[in-house]
Structure 1
């Protein structure tokens, strides 16, 4: 589904705030915005929301980090998912062996428990 439709910068730029907050089903203190829902639906990337939300519970390096920058770098059918603190201090890096997320990938913020597009910050 992802590569057929793709995600354009102009589509993502339309999200400058959110009208709705969506609660993650497994990590109940994590929410996400309209823009992130659009990305998940358009690119078939609910797994990306899951990766970010579940890492909040599983990764000690993320505890207490109120601002996180999540970058998905897609190259062909694989990807690299990185998280840093916004000041280039890497907190996590994970290899994704297979994805159909559109190239070149995407950047998301996690701020005080809310996953959002940079334009929604």
Structure 2
């Protein structure tokens, strides 16, 4: 019977000690849970930031490609413009030459007519 009492006494003491330990560990557990929650939130924020960063890198790369494409198109347009401008200049020069030839021919014909027309006396 004494053994049973001792056992019961030991069980009570252990229960009290266990309850005290649990009570002491509750604030620590609460802090742990709060820190765990904050860590989880920070990890989530970091993942989102990395996704945004990756997206921005992709956007920058697309913008660079678009800029290169636009520069190539601009250069092609300049080349085409210069070619057409040269043609216009050549046509303009040819037209001026023809105009000069025509005026010269008219002047020559006019002189020829004046020399053929008899002068009244």
- Please give the range of the TM-score, normalised by the shorter of the 2 chains: under 0.3
Name the TM-score, length of structure 2 as normaliser: 0.16
Which of the pair has the greater relative contact order for Cα pairs under 8 Å at 6+ separation? 1
Higher fraction of helix: 2
